[in-house]
Protein backbone atom coordinates (compact mmCIF):
# COMPACT_ATOMS: atom_id res chain seq x y z
CA UNK A 1 0.00 0.00 0.00
CA UNK A 2 1.32 3.40 -1.00
CA UNK A 3 0.11 6.89 -0.10
CA UNK A 4 -0.96 8.81 -3.15
CA UNK A 5 -2.36 12.30 -3.65
CA UNK A 6 -4.17 13.20 -6.85
CA UNK A 7 -4.56 16.89 -7.68
CA UNK A 8 -7.66 17.65 -9.75
CA UNK A 9 -10.83 15.57 -9.82
CA UNK A 10 -11.76 15.84 -13.48
CA UNK A 11 -12.03 12.74 -15.65
CA UNK A 12 -8.39 11.84 -15.43
CA UNK A 13 -7.85 12.65 -11.76
CA UNK A 14 -10.94 10.97 -10.44
CA UNK A 15 -10.51 7.81 -12.48
CA UNK A 16 -6.80 7.62 -11.61
CA UNK A 17 -7.49 8.18 -7.92
CA UNK A 18 -10.27 5.67 -7.57
CA UNK A 19 -8.44 3.01 -9.59
CA UNK A 20 -5.25 3.34 -7.53
CA UNK A 21 -7.42 3.10 -4.39
CA UNK A 22 -9.07 -0.01 -5.80
CA UNK A 23 -5.60 -1.50 -6.30
CA UNK A 24 -5.15 -1.22 -2.53
CA UNK A 25 -3.42 2.15 -2.10
CA UNK A 26 -4.50 4.99 0.16
CA UNK A 27 -5.52 7.89 -2.09
CA UNK A 28 -6.50 11.45 -1.25
CA UNK A 29 -8.04 13.46 -4.11
CA UNK A 30 -7.55 17.21 -3.88
CA UNK A 31 -9.44 19.87 -5.79
CA UNK A 32 -9.89 23.57 -5.15
CA UNK A 33 -13.50 23.37 -6.36
CA UNK A 34 -15.50 23.05 -3.12
CA UNK A 35 -18.73 22.13 -4.85
CA UNK A 36 -17.08 19.15 -6.56
CA UNK A 37 -15.43 17.95 -3.36
CA UNK A 38 -18.59 18.38 -1.26
CA UNK A 39 -20.52 16.46 -3.91
CA UNK A 40 -17.97 13.65 -3.99
CA UNK A 41 -18.08 13.35 -0.21
CA UNK A 42 -21.83 12.74 -0.58
CA UNK A 43 -21.28 10.28 -3.41
CA UNK A 44 -22.31 12.71 -6.19
CA UNK A 45 -20.06 12.31 -9.25
CA UNK A 46 -19.03 15.51 -11.10
CA UNK A 47 -18.98 13.57 -14.39
CA UNK A 48 -20.90 10.73 -15.96
CA UNK A 49 -18.71 7.67 -16.35
CA UNK A 50 -20.01 4.10 -16.34
CA UNK A 51 -19.02 2.21 -13.17
CA UNK A 52 -17.41 5.21 -11.49
CA UNK A 53 -19.99 5.86 -8.78
CA UNK A 54 -19.95 2.27 -7.52
CA UNK A 55 -16.15 2.13 -7.49
CA UNK A 56 -15.88 5.43 -5.60
CA UNK A 57 -18.45 4.30 -3.03
CA UNK A 58 -16.68 0.97 -2.49
CA UNK A 59 -13.26 2.52 -1.94
CA UNK A 60 -14.55 5.32 0.29
CA UNK A 61 -16.28 2.67 2.41
CA UNK A 62 -13.05 0.69 2.59
CA UNK A 63 -11.26 3.79 3.89
CA UNK A 64 -8.82 3.92 0.97
CA UNK A 65 -10.23 6.96 -0.83
CA UNK A 66 -11.00 10.44 0.47
CA UNK A 67 -11.61 13.92 -0.91
CA UNK A 68 -10.47 17.32 0.30
CA UNK A 69 -10.03 20.92 -0.81
CA UNK A 70 -6.92 21.18 1.35
CA UNK A 71 -3.55 20.62 -0.30
CA UNK A 72 -1.97 20.31 3.16
CA UNK A 73 -4.27 17.43 4.05
CA UNK A 74 -3.81 15.75 0.69
CA UNK A 75 -0.02 15.98 0.67
CA UNK A 76 0.57 15.19 4.33
CA UNK A 77 1.62 11.59 3.83
CA UNK A 78 1.85 11.39 0.06
CA UNK A 79 4.84 9.66 -1.49
CA UNK A 80 3.39 10.14 -4.97
CA UNK A 81 1.54 13.27 -6.10
CA UNK A 82 -0.30 12.98 -9.41
CA UNK A 83 -1.08 16.25 -11.16
CA UNK A 84 -4.26 15.75 -13.16
CA UNK A 85 -5.60 19.28 -13.52
CA UNK A 86 -7.12 20.66 -16.72
CA UNK A 87 -4.98 22.06 -19.52
CA UNK A 88 -7.57 23.92 -21.60
CA UNK A 89 -6.82 25.38 -25.00
CA UNK A 90 -5.35 28.84 -24.76
CA UNK A 91 -4.84 31.40 -27.51
CA UNK A 92 -3.49 30.13 -30.88
CA UNK A 93 -3.89 26.51 -29.79
CA UNK A 94 -1.21 26.84 -27.15
CA UNK A 95 -2.12 24.80 -24.04
CA UNK A 96 -3.11 26.94 -21.05
CA UNK A 97 -0.93 25.83 -18.14
CA UNK A 98 -2.21 28.09 -15.36
CA UNK A 99 -3.71 25.17 -13.39
CA UNK A 100 -0.54 23.08 -13.68
CA UNK A 101 1.47 26.07 -12.48
CA UNK A 102 -0.86 26.56 -9.49
CA UNK A 103 -0.68 22.87 -8.60
CA UNK A 104 3.14 22.76 -8.88
CA UNK A 105 3.51 25.86 -6.75
CA UNK A 106 1.12 24.62 -4.06
CA UNK A 107 2.92 21.28 -3.91
CA UNK A 108 6.29 23.03 -3.62
CA UNK A 109 5.16 25.36 -0.85
CA UNK A 110 3.89 22.48 1.27
CA UNK A 111 6.59 19.92 0.48
CA UNK A 112 8.14 18.76 3.75
CA UNK A 113 9.16 15.20 2.80
CA UNK A 114 10.50 13.60 -0.41
CA UNK A 115 7.88 13.28 -3.14
CA UNK A 116 7.56 11.97 -6.64
CA UNK A 117 5.48 14.39 -8.68
CA UNK A 118 3.78 12.57 -11.52
CA UNK A 119 2.29 14.60 -14.29
CA UNK A 120 -0.82 13.10 -15.89
CA UNK A 121 -2.26 16.23 -17.49
CA UNK A 122 -1.56 16.53 -21.21
CA UNK A 123 1.06 19.23 -21.32
CA UNK A 124 3.33 20.65 -24.00
CA UNK A 125 6.63 18.88 -24.43
CA UNK A 126 9.05 20.45 -21.96
CA UNK A 127 6.47 21.06 -19.22
CA UNK A 128 7.95 18.40 -16.94
CA UNK A 129 11.20 20.38 -16.81
CA UNK A 130 9.23 23.57 -16.18
CA UNK A 131 7.29 21.93 -13.30
CA UNK A 132 10.63 20.90 -11.77
CA UNK A 133 11.82 24.54 -12.06
CA UNK A 134 8.67 25.82 -10.33
CA UNK A 135 9.04 23.32 -7.50
CA UNK A 136 12.71 24.23 -7.06
CA UNK A 137 11.77 27.90 -6.96
CA UNK A 138 8.97 27.64 -4.39
CA UNK A 139 10.03 24.82 -2.08
CA UNK A 140 10.97 25.90 1.41
CA UNK A 141 13.75 23.43 1.98
CA UNK A 142 16.08 21.23 -0.01
CA UNK A 143 13.76 18.29 0.34
CA UNK A 144 14.20 15.82 -2.52
CA UNK A 145 11.70 15.42 -5.33
CA UNK A 146 11.51 14.02 -8.84
CA UNK A 147 9.19 14.72 -11.75
CA UNK A 148 7.81 11.86 -13.81
CA UNK A 149 5.57 12.21 -16.86
CA UNK A 150 2.85 9.56 -17.05
CA UNK A 151 0.48 10.42 -19.90
CA UNK A 152 -3.05 9.08 -19.72
CA UNK A 153 -4.73 7.28 -22.58
CA UNK A 154 -8.19 6.99 -21.03
CA UNK A 155 -11.25 7.21 -23.20
CA UNK A 156 -14.36 8.74 -21.74
CA UNK A 157 -17.07 6.13 -21.37
CA UNK A 158 -14.57 3.33 -20.80
CA UNK A 159 -12.07 5.16 -18.62
CA UNK A 160 -12.09 2.65 -15.76
CA UNK A 161 -11.45 -0.39 -17.90
CA UNK A 162 -8.88 1.62 -19.91
CA UNK A 163 -7.08 2.30 -16.63
CA UNK A 164 -7.30 -1.28 -15.39
CA UNK A 165 -6.42 -2.91 -18.74
CA UNK A 166 -4.07 -0.46 -20.46
CA UNK A 167 -2.30 -1.30 -23.72
CA UNK A 168 0.79 0.25 -22.16
CA UNK A 169 1.96 2.49 -19.34
CA UNK A 170 4.38 5.24 -20.37
CA UNK A 171 6.69 6.82 -17.81
CA UNK A 172 9.26 9.49 -18.52
CA UNK A 173 11.80 10.99 -16.18
CA UNK A 174 15.35 12.15 -15.88
CA UNK A 175 15.36 10.19 -12.62
CA UNK A 176 15.17 6.50 -13.52
CA UNK A 177 14.74 5.39 -9.92
CA UNK A 178 11.67 7.63 -9.49
CA UNK A 179 10.16 6.28 -12.72
CA UNK A 180 10.73 2.73 -11.48
CA UNK A 181 8.93 3.53 -8.23
CA UNK A 182 5.94 4.80 -10.20
CA UNK A 183 6.15 1.64 -12.33
CA UNK A 184 5.63 -0.39 -9.13
CA UNK A 185 2.21 1.21 -8.72
CA UNK A 186 1.20 -0.15 -12.11
CA UNK A 187 2.66 -3.65 -11.72
CA UNK A 188 -0.66 -5.25 -10.66
CA UNK A 189 -2.08 -4.30 -14.09
CA UNK A 190 0.36 -6.63 -15.87
CA UNK A 191 0.69 -4.23 -18.79
CA UNK A 192 3.83 -3.34 -20.77
CA UNK A 193 5.58 -0.50 -18.95
CA UNK A 194 7.86 1.75 -20.94
CA UNK A 195 10.35 4.01 -19.20
CA UNK A 196 11.87 6.82 -21.21
CA UNK A 197 12.92 10.43 -20.76
CA UNK A 198 10.50 13.21 -19.79
CA UNK A 199 10.12 14.92 -23.15
CA UNK A 200 9.76 11.69 -25.05
CA UNK A 201 6.95 10.54 -22.72
CA UNK A 202 5.18 13.86 -23.19
CA UNK A 203 5.56 13.53 -26.96
CA UNK A 204 4.18 9.96 -26.99
CA UNK A 205 0.86 11.31 -25.78
CA UNK A 206 0.62 14.00 -28.48
CA UNK A 207 1.82 11.70 -31.22
CA UNK A 208 -0.68 8.98 -30.23
CA UNK A 209 -3.67 11.31 -30.19
CA UNK A 210 -2.58 13.04 -33.39
CA UNK A 211 -2.20 9.66 -35.09
CA UNK A 212 -5.69 8.55 -34.03
CA UNK A 213 -7.13 11.87 -35.19
CA UNK A 214 -5.29 11.38 -38.48
CA UNK A 215 -6.91 7.97 -38.94
CA UNK A 216 -10.32 9.57 -38.48
CA UNK A 217 -9.60 12.39 -40.92
CA UNK A 218 -8.11 9.87 -43.33
CA UNK A 219 -11.26 7.75 -43.39
CA UNK A 220 -13.40 10.90 -43.62
CA UNK A 221 -11.44 11.96 -46.69
CA UNK A 222 -11.92 8.49 -48.14
CA UNK A 223 -15.66 8.83 -47.34
CA UNK A 224 -15.84 12.01 -49.37
CA UNK A 225 -14.08 10.34 -52.28
CA UNK A 226 -16.41 7.32 -51.93
CA UNK A 227 -19.39 9.64 -52.41
CA UNK A 228 -17.93 10.92 -55.64
CA UNK A 229 -17.06 7.44 -56.95
CA UNK A 230 -20.07 5.45 -55.77
CA UNK A 231 -18.31 3.29 -53.15
CA UNK A 232 -19.42 2.54 -49.59
CA UNK A 233 -16.89 3.72 -46.98
CA UNK A 234 -18.18 1.33 -44.31
CA UNK A 235 -17.32 -1.64 -46.48
CA UNK A 236 -14.07 0.00 -47.56
CA UNK A 237 -13.03 0.44 -43.90
CA UNK A 238 -13.96 -3.16 -43.11
CA UNK A 239 -11.93 -4.40 -46.05
CA UNK A 240 -8.95 -2.26 -45.05
CA UNK A 241 -9.15 -3.26 -41.41
CA UNK A 242 -8.53 -6.95 -42.08
CA UNK A 243 -4.97 -6.00 -42.95
CA UNK A 244 -3.16 -6.52 -39.65
CA UNK A 245 -0.97 -3.52 -40.34
CA UNK A 246 -4.09 -1.34 -40.54
CA UNK A 247 -6.61 -2.87 -38.09
CA UNK A 248 -10.29 -2.01 -37.65
CA UNK A 249 -10.20 0.61 -34.89
CA UNK A 250 -10.73 4.32 -35.52
CA UNK A 251 -11.91 3.95 -39.10
CA UNK A 252 -15.52 5.08 -38.64
CA UNK A 253 -16.34 7.93 -41.00
CA UNK A 254 -18.75 10.54 -39.70
CA UNK A 255 -19.12 14.11 -38.48
CA UNK A 256 -15.52 14.12 -37.26
CA UNK A 257 -13.78 13.93 -33.92
CA UNK A 258 -14.60 16.10 -30.92
CA UNK A 259 -14.11 15.93 -27.17
CA UNK A 260 -11.61 17.32 -24.74
CA UNK A 261 -8.51 15.71 -26.24
CA UNK A 262 -8.19 15.28 -29.99
CA UNK A 263 -9.11 18.82 -31.13
CA UNK A 264 -6.96 20.40 -28.43
CA UNK A 265 -4.01 18.05 -28.74
CA UNK A 266 -3.74 18.19 -32.54
CA UNK A 267 -3.86 21.99 -32.39
CA UNK A 268 -1.30 22.11 -29.59
CA UNK A 269 1.09 19.80 -31.43
CA UNK A 270 0.81 21.92 -34.57
CA UNK A 271 1.44 25.00 -32.49
CA UNK A 272 4.53 23.48 -30.85
CA UNK A 273 5.85 22.58 -34.30
CA UNK A 274 5.17 26.03 -35.72
CA UNK A 275 6.87 28.00 -32.99
CA UNK A 276 9.94 25.86 -33.62
CA UNK A 277 9.83 26.69 -37.32
CA UNK A 278 8.44 23.33 -38.53
CA UNK A 279 5.55 23.00 -40.97
CA UNK A 280 2.97 20.53 -39.65
CA UNK A 281 1.18 20.15 -42.98
CA UNK A 282 -0.40 16.82 -42.20
CA UNK A 283 -1.77 18.04 -38.86
CA UNK A 284 -3.24 21.08 -40.58
CA UNK A 285 -4.97 18.86 -43.13
CA UNK A 286 -6.30 16.64 -40.32
CA UNK A 287 -7.93 19.69 -38.68
CA UNK A 288 -9.26 21.04 -41.96
CA UNK A 289 -10.90 17.74 -42.91
CA UNK A 290 -12.45 17.54 -39.45
CA UNK A 291 -14.03 20.97 -39.82
CA UNK A 292 -15.21 20.08 -43.30
CA UNK A 293 -17.15 17.07 -41.96
CA UNK A 294 -19.39 19.39 -39.94
CA UNK A 295 -20.02 21.55 -43.03
CA UNK A 296 -20.75 18.44 -45.08
CA UNK A 297 -23.78 17.72 -42.88
CA UNK A 298 -25.17 21.20 -43.47
CA UNK A 299 -24.57 20.84 -47.21
CA UNK A 300 -26.48 17.54 -47.23
CA UNK A 301 -29.38 19.25 -45.43
CA UNK A 302 -29.41 22.05 -48.01
CA UNK A 303 -29.47 19.50 -50.82
CA UNK A 304 -32.51 17.88 -49.22
CA UNK A 305 -34.44 20.95 -48.12
CA UNK A 306 -33.22 23.86 -50.25
CA UNK A 307 -32.88 26.88 -48.01
CA UNK A 308 -32.65 26.11 -44.31
CA UNK A 309 -34.27 29.41 -43.32
CA UNK A 310 -37.30 28.68 -41.14
CA UNK A 311 -36.74 24.91 -41.23
CA UNK A 312 -36.67 22.82 -38.05
CA UNK A 313 -33.72 20.45 -37.73
CA UNK A 314 -33.50 17.80 -35.01
CA UNK A 315 -30.13 16.66 -33.70
CA UNK A 316 -30.22 13.08 -32.48
CA UNK A 317 -27.40 12.91 -29.94
CA UNK A 318 -25.54 15.93 -28.56
CA UNK A 319 -22.56 14.51 -26.60
CA UNK A 320 -19.29 14.34 -28.56
CA UNK A 321 -19.57 10.53 -28.50
CA UNK A 322 -21.80 7.90 -26.85
CA UNK A 323 -21.60 6.88 -23.17
CA UNK A 324 -20.55 10.30 -21.97
CA UNK A 325 -22.31 13.54 -21.07
CA UNK A 326 -19.34 15.56 -22.30
CA UNK A 327 -20.16 18.39 -24.69
CA UNK A 328 -16.64 19.74 -25.12
CA UNK A 329 -15.91 20.37 -28.82
CA UNK A 330 -19.02 18.37 -29.63
CA UNK A 331 -19.82 18.26 -33.36
CA UNK A 332 -23.48 18.90 -32.39
CA UNK A 333 -22.59 22.40 -31.21
CA UNK A 334 -20.63 23.25 -34.38
CA UNK A 335 -23.45 21.93 -36.57
CA UNK A 336 -26.11 23.76 -34.52
CA UNK A 337 -24.21 27.04 -34.88
CA UNK A 338 -24.01 26.65 -38.66
CA UNK A 339 -27.72 25.85 -38.78
CA UNK A 340 -28.59 28.91 -36.69
CA UNK A 341 -26.49 31.04 -39.01
CA UNK A 342 -28.49 29.64 -41.94
CA UNK A 343 -31.73 30.68 -40.24
CA UNK A 344 -32.90 27.23 -39.07
CA UNK A 345 -34.50 26.27 -35.79
CA UNK A 346 -32.50 23.58 -33.99
CA UNK A 347 -33.86 20.99 -31.59
CA UNK A 348 -31.90 18.27 -29.85
CA UNK A 349 -32.12 15.15 -27.75
CA UNK A 350 -29.43 13.18 -25.92
CA UNK A 351 -29.81 10.32 -23.43
CA UNK A 352 -27.39 11.81 -20.87
CA UNK A 353 -25.89 15.10 -22.07
CA UNK A 354 -28.99 17.31 -21.81
CA UNK A 355 -27.85 19.11 -18.67
CA UNK A 356 -24.51 20.03 -20.21
CA UNK A 357 -26.18 20.85 -23.55
CA UNK A 358 -28.46 23.34 -21.83
CA UNK A 359 -25.37 25.08 -20.45
CA UNK A 360 -23.11 24.90 -23.51
CA UNK A 361 -25.69 25.47 -26.24
CA UNK A 362 -28.75 27.12 -24.68
CA UNK A 363 -30.15 27.99 -28.12
CA UNK A 364 -30.82 24.32 -28.87
CA UNK A 365 -34.42 23.52 -27.92
CA UNK A 366 -34.36 20.21 -26.02
CA UNK A 367 -36.84 17.38 -26.50
CA UNK A 368 -37.62 14.62 -23.99
CA UNK A 369 -36.93 11.69 -26.30
CA UNK A 370 -36.24 10.81 -29.91
CA UNK A 371 -39.94 10.75 -30.80
CA UNK A 372 -40.81 14.14 -29.38
CA UNK A 373 -37.69 15.41 -31.15
CA UNK A 374 -38.96 14.06 -34.48
CA UNK A 375 -42.40 15.65 -34.16
CA UNK A 376 -42.51 18.60 -36.54
CA UNK A 377 -38.91 18.31 -37.78
CA UNK A 378 -38.07 18.95 -41.42
CA UNK A 379 -34.98 16.81 -41.04
CA UNK A 380 -33.10 14.81 -38.42
CA UNK A 381 -29.33 14.48 -38.16
CA UNK A 382 -27.79 11.58 -36.24
CA UNK A 383 -24.84 13.28 -34.53
CA UNK A 384 -23.99 10.76 -31.78
CA UNK A 385 -24.26 7.01 -32.26
CA UNK A 386 -25.96 6.11 -28.97
CA UNK A 387 -27.08 2.47 -28.94
CA UNK A 388 -30.66 3.45 -28.15
CA UNK A 389 -30.88 5.18 -31.54
CA UNK A 390 -30.10 1.93 -33.34
CA UNK A 391 -33.40 0.36 -32.27
CA UNK A 392 -35.80 3.27 -32.77
CA UNK A 393 -39.23 2.70 -34.29
CA UNK A 394 -38.25 4.44 -37.52
CA UNK A 395 -41.72 4.22 -39.06
CA UNK A 396 -43.04 6.16 -36.10
CA UNK A 397 -40.21 8.69 -36.44
CA UNK A 398 -40.97 9.06 -40.16
CA UNK A 399 -44.69 9.64 -39.51
CA UNK A 400 -43.99 12.26 -36.84
CA UNK A 401 -41.73 14.35 -39.08
CA UNK A 402 -42.80 17.13 -41.45
CA UNK A 403 -40.59 15.51 -44.08
CA UNK A 404 -38.84 12.16 -43.80
CA UNK A 405 -35.30 13.52 -44.23
CA UNK A 406 -32.59 11.78 -42.21
CA UNK A 407 -28.90 12.62 -42.41
CA UNK A 408 -26.97 9.85 -40.71
CA UNK A 409 -23.81 11.56 -39.50
CA UNK A 410 -22.54 8.30 -37.93
CA UNK A 411 -23.66 5.72 -40.49
CA UNK A 412 -25.71 3.74 -37.97
CA UNK A 413 -28.54 2.81 -40.35
CA UNK A 414 -28.62 0.69 -43.48
CA UNK A 415 -29.16 2.96 -46.50
CA UNK A 416 -31.30 0.46 -48.45
CA UNK A 417 -33.60 -0.22 -45.46
CA UNK A 418 -34.00 3.49 -44.79
CA UNK A 419 -34.97 4.16 -48.39
CA UNK A 420 -37.43 1.25 -48.31
CA UNK A 421 -38.99 2.86 -45.24
CA UNK A 422 -39.56 5.95 -47.36
CA UNK A 423 -36.82 8.14 -45.92
CA UNK A 424 -34.75 10.59 -47.92
CA UNK A 425 -31.57 9.16 -46.40
CA UNK A 426 -27.99 10.36 -46.64
CA UNK A 427 -25.07 8.81 -44.79
CA UNK A 428 -21.42 9.82 -44.79
CA UNK A 429 -19.57 8.31 -47.73
CA UNK A 430 -22.01 5.56 -48.61
CA UNK A 431 -22.20 5.83 -52.37
CA UNK A 432 -23.30 8.29 -55.04
CA UNK A 433 -26.51 9.38 -53.36
CA UNK A 434 -24.70 10.83 -50.37
CA UNK A 435 -23.02 13.50 -52.46
CA UNK A 436 -26.15 14.15 -54.50
CA UNK A 437 -24.13 13.03 -57.56
CA UNK A 438 -25.75 11.19 -60.44
CA UNK A 439 -24.83 7.58 -61.07
CA UNK A 440 -23.13 7.36 -64.46
Nearest residue relative to ligand UDX (C-beta): 261
CB of 216 to ligand UDX, least distance (A): 5
Residue 133 has φ and ψ, to the nearest 5°, of: -60, -45
Q: Which of residues 29 and 261 has its CB atom nearest to ligand UDX in the complex?
A: 261
Given 2, 76, 155, 358, the residue binding ligand UDX (CB under 6 A): 155
Q: What is the x/- site pattern for ligand UDX, positions 303-332, by CB under 6 A?
A: -----------------xx-----------
Given 138, 250, 340, 432, the residue binding ligand UDX (CB under 6 A): 250
Spatial neighbors of 115 by CB under 8 A, at least 6 apart, are 75, 78, 79, 80, 81, 107, 143, 145
Given 156, 202, 378, 408, the residue binding ligand UDX (CB under 6 A): 156
Strand partners, 5: 28, 81
Given 27, 103, 251, 268, the residue binding ligand UDX (CB under 6 A): 251
**Residue 126: which of 201, 68, 196, 185 has the closest Cα?**
201
Q: Which of residues 330 and 339 has its CB atom nearest to ligand UDX in the complex?
A: 330
Task: Count other Cβ atoms within 10 Å, centred on residue 422.
Answer: 12
Binding piece for ligand UDX, criterion CB under 6 A, among 37-45, 68-76, 244-252, 333-341? 244-252
Give buried/exposed letters for 74-93 (b at 16+ CB in 10 A, else e): bbeebebbbbbbbbebeeeb
Q: What is the distance between the alpha carbons of residues 225 and 407, in angstroms, rounded to a whole number? A: 18
Site membership for ligand UDX, residue 152 (CB under 6 A): yes
Given 56, 132, 154, 270, the residue binding ligand UDX (CB under 6 A): 154
Q: Which of residues 154 and 370 has its CB atom nearest to ligand UDX in the complex?
A: 154
Residue 377 designated active-site? no
Size of the site for ligand UDX (CB under 6 A): 19
Q: Which of residues 121 and 209 has its CB atom nearest to ligand UDX in the complex?
A: 209
CB of 430 to ligand UDX, least distance (A): 15
Q: Which of residues 146 and 412 has its CB atom nearest to ligand UDX in the complex?
A: 412
Q: Which of residues 15 and 110 has its CB atom nearest to ligand UDX in the complex?
A: 15
CB of 312 to ligand UDX, least distance (A): 25
Q: Which of residues 71 and 262 has its CB atom nearest to ligand UDX in the complex?
A: 262
Spatial neighbors of 6 by CB under 8 A, at least 6 apart, are 13, 14, 16, 17, 20, 27, 28, 29, 30, 81, 82, 84
CB of 15 to ligand UDX, least distance (A): 11
Q: Which of residues 262 and 423 has its CB atom nearest to ligand UDX in the complex?
A: 262
Select which of 19, 29, 226, 261 is catalytic. 261
CB of 152 to ligand UDX, least distance (A): 5
Q: 194-233: which residues touch ligand UDX (CB under 6 A)?
A: 209, 212, 216
Binding piece for ligand UDX, criterion CB under 6 A, among 24-32, 135-143, 154-162, 308-316? 154-162
Binding piece for ligand UDX, criterion CB under 6 A, among 83-91, 153-161, 278-286, 347-355? 153-161
CB of 258 to ligand UDX, least distance (A): 4
Q: What is the x/- site pattern for ligand UDX, positions 252-281, by CB under 6 A?
A: x-x--xxx-xx-------------------
CB of 226 to ligand UDX, least distance (A): 15
For ligand UDX, the binding residues (CB under 6 A) are: 152-156, 209, 212, 216, 250-252, 254, 257-259, 261-262, 320-321
Catalytic residue positions?
261
Amino acid sequence: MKNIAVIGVGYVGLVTGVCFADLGNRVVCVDINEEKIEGLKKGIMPIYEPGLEELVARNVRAGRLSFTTSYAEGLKEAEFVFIAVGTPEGVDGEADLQYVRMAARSIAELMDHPMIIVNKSTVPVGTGDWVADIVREYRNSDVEFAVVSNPEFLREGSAISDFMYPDRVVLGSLNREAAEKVAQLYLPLRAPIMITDLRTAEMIKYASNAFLATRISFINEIANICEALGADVKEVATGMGYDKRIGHAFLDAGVGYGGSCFPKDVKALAYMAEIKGRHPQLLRAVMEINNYQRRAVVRKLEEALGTLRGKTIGLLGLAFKPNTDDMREAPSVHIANMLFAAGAKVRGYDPVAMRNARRVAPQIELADDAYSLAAGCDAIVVVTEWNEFKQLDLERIRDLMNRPVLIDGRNIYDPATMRELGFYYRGMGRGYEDSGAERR
